[in-house]
Amino acid sequence: MAKNPPTGDGHRRGAVRNRSQVFNPKTGKYVKRDTETGKFMDQKADDKPFKGVRKEK
């Protein structure tokens, strides 16, 4: 069984799968995409990237 102790400390072991993120220069924010469908999923409220999600070029 996989464990990521301690819980609630704000970090993850390993990457989020089937997700990628790209920077939108028009808004200045990062947008998360589903790599299987290519659809945009979510946008960050601040200008920092998503944690544990790989970046596209």
DSSP 3-24: --PSTTSS--SSPPTTEEEEEE
pLDDT single digits (tens) 26-53: 999 999 999 999 999 999 999 999 988 9
Please state, rounded to an integer, the average pLDDT across all residues of the chain: 90
Q: Work out the pLDDT band at 2, boundaries 50, 70, 90.
A: low
Decide which of 25 and 8 is more confident: 25
pLDDT for 4: 65
Q: How far is CA 24 from CA 7, 13, 16, 18, 31, in A?
A: 32, 27, 20, 20, 7
- For the chain, the domains span 19-55
| Tokens found for residue 49 | 């990237």
| pLDDT of residue 16 exceeding 70 | yes
Distance between CA atoms of residues 32 and 19, nearest Å? 7
| pTM of the full structure | 0.75
